[in-house]
Each structure stands twice: as C-alpha cells, then as structure tokens.
Structure 1
Amino acid sequence: MRPNAKRTTLADIAQAAGVSVATVSKVVNGRGDVAPHTRTRVQELLNRHEYLAPVSRHTEAAENPTIEVQFKGGLKAYVAETLEGIIDSAAELGASVVVSKASSAPHRARDLVSAGRRAVIAVTSVYTAAHLDELARSGLPLVVLDPLHLPDSRVNSVGATNFAGGLAATRHLLSLGHRRVAYLGGPADAVCNQARMHGYRAAMEAEGTPVPDAYVRPGDFTYDSGLLGAAALLDLEQPPTAVFAGNDEIAVGVVESARARGLRVPEELSVVGFDDTSVARMASPPLTTVRQPLREMGGTALRIALRLANGGKAESHHIELATELVVRASTAPPREGSPAPG
C-alpha cells in the first residue's frame, strides 16, 4: 500500500463485523464491556486488515516521544558513535530512545506503534518496499542515517559529503607525490562507497594519472576485507604506493596486511581511511582519515525524527554534513624511484 492509499477505518471494521463503531472502539482500546465472541470477531478483522490506530499528536507522547533506533550488524565504532549522537540529542530535547538490532525479517510497524514508538531511525539499514509500505500505513516516519542505497522518496535521510571526502583523501596522497594510488572500498552498490570512489577517480583524472582496473576493488566495510583486498593489491606486479580505504576498519586491515609483508607504513605504503572513528585514532600508526561528523549526523537524524513525529516536515529530503580530512601519521611521500603505473 502506498502513502496515499486508503487507510482502514473503525467504520470499515464495524461494517464488516456487523457491529457499531463504538463497539470496535472499545475493542481497540481494551475495554471489557464487549461480549467475548464479538471481541474475537472484531479482533480478527483488525488483524486481517492490519488496522493501526492513528497516532495522536495531542497526547503526552507528543511532548516526550519515543523513537526506535535500529542498526544492523555488530556494534562497531561507527555505529557506537552515531548512537552516541542520537542519545545525547534525545536527552537534550527530552525524547526517549529505544535501541534495537534489526533482524533480516521485517519489523512489524504495528508492533512499534503499539509499543508507543513515534518514529524510526535506521542506521545504514536497508529497507525494502514492503518495509516502507508498512511504515506508511502506520504513519511512522523513517529517517535513515548514512543510507547504503538510494532512499525511497518516502524516506528522509542524513549523510555526509562522501564525494568531497574521497576527493580530499586522494588529493592529499597526490600532493605527497603518490601516483600509484588504489581505492579499496565497501560494497560496490552502496551509495556512500560509490560516492567515495567517484571522488577518488575525479582526483586521479584531474591529475592526469591513469587508474589500472586492478587498483579499484570493492569489498565490505570490515577489517577482514582490508586484509584480503590489500593482499591482492600488494601482490600485483606493480603494487600501489598508497591506498585510500573506504572506511577506517578497511584501512587498519591494509596496515596489517602491509606489516605482514614487511612493509612499513607510511614509509613504504601510505594509507588513508574514512570516518575518523576511535579505530583511526588508536591505530598504529594513527590513521590519516576523512572525518565524518558521526555524532552530529546522529543528532540531526534525531531532530528530524522528532519534527516528523510531531506532525512537522523536514527542511530537506536528504541532508549532507561536511567531511574533513584529518592528517595523522599513516601518510608520507613515496620512496624515490617508484614508477608510475602504465
């Protein structure tokens, strides 16, 4: 069902059950003065039609709303820092937050409504058309933080300037004198990965530096992906002298893969990450990386969710916050005599 589809009403249920609207209202509100067989029939119809009571804008929940925050996968540094931004903003604004781990099965919107949720924030989760249809029926607004895929027109989202970040990271490596620069990214179809990769390619093309096909490798946003991807890059006949990694976890995997081959970072291989999580700051050496304002992104998502939950509108369908290059100890000029790629 699309957002403009007709919502099932109490009158619809009453007509189907052959009872009054008042009787259906009593069942919905848990009143006891309804005959058992009538209650059973009405409840069956409510379930069959997936009836959801409209969310009141004038209840106490409007003053102190509860927002459902869902994330997928492990509680990694990236997720932890965005959650911190959401929770801090919720405390400041007097809202409540319930954090849950998204499962592969769709989370029924009617259950969220029944539990008193007023909006949903998804951290990099992928929502299917079925998810969105159910949320539209329920009236629950959805805000996706750093979406992996292009959001549906019904979804508000918050992200960062990924293209500009990829451009800045690659320009930094080029300014140091590197010409054999590889990109080791996340999933090929992830929007954020595509934007970072295009920023990398734009910087390389502007410099007139060719990019061998083998220098661009998709993967996952994980440490293991960094290990395996870097191993493939470093085994090339003409390996890169620098690697721009799609996130900090990949970058740390690259550093370890180089170390296992006896290569020193940054003397023999420069590495740049993306996110500027605690992983980047605690790495050895500390990572040069592109900072995403993760806490600010979380806070922005929370404020949008609250505005939508209380009947307002978002100022923009998609908001991007600025990224910033943070230079640390994992990048340096290449060794003399390193040939450019053919």
Structure 2
Amino acid sequence: MAATIKDVARLSGFSVTTVSRALNGHSDVSEETRKKIMEAAQALNYVPNRVAQQLVTKRANAIGLYSLDRETFQNQFITLMIAGMMDEVTIHDFNLLLFATQRLQTAEEMIMQCRQRGIGGAIISGVRLDEAWLGDLPKVDFPLVVVDVPVQGPRATYVSVDNVLGAQKAIDHLVSLGHRQIGMINGHSGAWVSHQRLAGYQQAVRAHGLPWKESYVFEGDFSKESGRKGAEHLLKVNPELTALFVASDLMAVGALEQLQAMGYAVPEQISVVGFDDQDFAIHVSPPLTTIRQEMYTFGRLAARELIQMIGDPSYIPQHVDLPCTLVPRGSTGPVGRTRGCSS
C-alpha cells in the first residue's frame, strides 16, 4: 500500500499540517524541520495521491525550469531561452512551470517538489560550481537538464554553447585587426562558462604567439559595474593593451563606459568584444562587437532533450553543445595610430 501523508507525519513526528506545509515549500517551516520531513518522505517513497494517480494513468505533462539566480527572469537574454522552451513544450503538449529560488539545500528537495506537482523532469539554470549538491545530480533517478554546467548521468545531461570556440573567435577577430596585447574581463569563478571562456582566450593567445601575462585577466562577476572596474584596472596596470575581450555583454557595456570616461576613443584607441549578443548590444555607442549565442534555439533543444528523457526511460541523455558566431560591429577596429601595438 502506498504511503500517505499521515505516514510521513507519524514517522517524522510532526503534524499533518506541518508536513503538508513543508512538502509544499512554505517559508514558515524551519530548514531543520523541513529536512526531517523530507527524509521521512523519502524513506517511505511518499508521493502525493493526485500525482501518483497521474503517473499511473498517463505520463507527466509538465517540466519545471528552476532558476537559482534571482535576477534570471529580469534578463532579456534569458527570456529568449524561456521562449524557446515554451514553444517546444507546446508542440509536445507539455506545460512549463517556472521556479525562482536562491538556493536548493539538496537535489532531493527539488525532485520532491517536482513530483508533488506532477512535473516529469526539470531544467536547472544558474547553478554554481561550488553548490554542495552538484555532484549528486548525475546520480539522480529523475530526468534533468542543467544549463551551462557539465553534468552527465543515466538520467541527467547538460546544454551549453561552445564557449571555448566563442572566445577563440573573439581573439581571432582582434588579431585579424592587428591587435597583439589583448586583455580579458572574465565572469566569476563560480560559473563554468567563465572557465571555458578563459580557456578559449588563453588557447587563442598561445596559438597566435601573442605576448601575455596574468595581469591581463580581471575577474568580474558579470555585472555592469564589474566591467567598469575591470577596464579601469586593466588599463592602469597594463597601459599597452589595445583590446579587451569581455565575457558578457553587460560587463562589456560597463567597460565601454569606463574607457570613454578615461578618455579612450573606442575603437580608434582600444577595441572591445563582448559575449552573448543581447538586444542592447546594438544600441550602445559604438555598437558592440560580440559573440552571439542563439538562446531561443538553446531553450528549444534543452526542452526537447528533457521531454525525450521523460517519454523514454531507456533513452540515453545527449549533451547538446551549440555553436556561436562572431557579430562584428563598431566597437572593434584596427590598432589605432595613437596607440602602438608593440610586442
């Protein structure tokens, strides 16, 4: 006989009301209490009756998108990914449910929430490399697709763009314009894409035989303000730099503004390349040269892969790695005469 909520209450030692509120994510339940209740529910393999009936009679017809970054849904760039997901799930007669949360205590917590709501699989965005539960994701018995973090298991995979190649394309473009001293403003180290874009930058610098030193790289945090700070720091420490590769468009706009405030003409004296191709990239002055990610396609493929896993338990998840393209605009140009490109 299937476990009931009363069984969970009895095993955990809490009232049915408290158990119900804990399982449904109410904030008035302490983390210690919630943990004990979740452990009891997992021990009993408890699934709410309405969901259990749905899983017996038909497939789950919803997927969940979990964002661990509270600003995700304010980001126009991410809305393109969500639009792609929505179009894909509609084709397959699925629903998409959005969840915004700063932190998940455990992977099991998210999976329990999904099962309670009749969600057959989840896409997770905004995962940091230092999440304590990240190593558990490849082992879970629940369909998962992770955005921009390498997770691979029998029921889990990830989608990403080729960040290494994107960074290499940015450096190749700058080298083609005569630049040899090229700095980088990177994202924070908790993001996998930061490591990938740094690797692409370093590989391209070595491939072209360019002069390089550690001070050519500044670690930001993907914010506009960190782009400003990065540009100021890099040019003060390394005045010989004639170009900057910036790991996001938002940071690149901050860098542009700071360079102009410092009296640099862009691109006559220094060139700037971003990464993402957000809508605002074409409206800044000068328009931003950048690496384009096709986030609408990204979203569709993530949802398609997840739906495939939900529909076929024997399906082996496939990592999806999308190409990205260089979009040349006005923020890059040949090395200016007023600033030499000595090696």
- Output the TM-score relative to the length of structure 1: 0.80
Residue number in structure 2 paired with 1:244:
245
**Aligned residue-pair number:** 306
d(CA) in 2 for partners of 1:156 and 1:105?
A: 19
Q: Which runs of 5 or more structure 1 residues have no equivalent in the other structure?
A: 1-20, 31-35
Q: Is the 8 A contact 2:139 2:153 kept in 1?
A: no
Q: Is the 8 A contact 1:271 1:331 kept in 2?
A: yes
Residue number in structure 1 paired with 2:22:
none
Residue 73, structure 1, aligned to residue 60, structure 2? no
Amino acid at match of 1:47: A
Pick the aligned partner of 2:120 from 108, 118, 121. 118
Of stretches 70-79 and 53-62 in structure 1, the one that deviates more from structure 2 is 53-62
SS in 1 for 2:239: coil
Instruction: Describe the superposition over 1:114-141 as per-residue Cα deviations: whole angstroms up to 9, x where unpaired.
Output: 111111101232484647758966x421
Q: Is the 8 A contact 1:307 1:313 kept in 2?
A: no
d(CA) in 2 for partners of 1:298 and 1:284?
A: 30
Q: CA RMSD in A?
A: 2.8
Q: Which runs of 5 or more structure 2 residues have no equivalent in the other structure?
A: 14-38
Residue number in structure 2 paired with 1:49:
43
d(CA) in 1 for partners of 2:248 and 2:116?
A: 38
SS in 1 for 2:234: helix
Residue number in structure 1 paired with 2:36:
none
Q: Is the 8 A contact 1:230 1:258 kept in 2?
A: yes
> How does 1:188-207 map onto structure 2 within 5 Å?
188-207=189-208
Q: Is the 8 A contact 1:135 1:141 kept in 2?
A: no
Residue 59, structure 1, aligned to residue 57, structure 2? yes
d(CA) in 2 for partners of 1:162 and 1:39?
A: 46
Shift of 1:292: 1.1
Of stretches 310-319 and 277-286 in structure 1, the one that deviates more from structure 2 is 310-319
Q: Is the 8 A contact 2:287 2:330 kept in 1?
A: yes
d(CA) in 2 for partners of 1:337 and 1:156?
A: 50
Shift of 1:249: 0.8
d(CA) in 2 for partners of 1:161 and 1:283?
A: 26
Shift of 1:208: 1.5
SS in 2 for 1:275: coil
SS in 1 for 2:305: helix
d(CA) in 1 for partners of 2:288 and 2:8?
A: 63
d(CA) in 2 for partners of 1:247 and 1:319?
A: 21
Q: Is the 8 A contact 1:109 1:134 kept in 2?
A: no
Residue number in structure 2 paired with 1:208:
209
d(CA) in 2 for partners of 1:95 and 1:284?
A: 42
Q: Is the 8 A contact 2:137 2:151 kept in 1?
A: no
Q: 1:57 to 1:173 in 2, by over 3 A?
A: same
d(CA) in 1 for partners of 2:241 and 2:46?
A: 57
Shift of 1:312: 3.9
Residue number in structure 1 paired with 2:25:
none
Bigger Rg, structure 1 or 2: 1
Residue number in structure 2 paired with 1:18:
none
d(CA) in 2 for partners of 1:132 and 1:195?
A: 19
Q: Is the 8 A contact 2:128 2:191 kept in 1?
A: no
Residue number in structure 2 paired with 1:140:
142
d(CA) in 1 for partners of 2:152 and 2:188?
A: 19
Identical positions, percent: 28
Shift of 1:46: 5.3
d(CA) in 1 for partners of 2:182 and 2:338?
A: 15
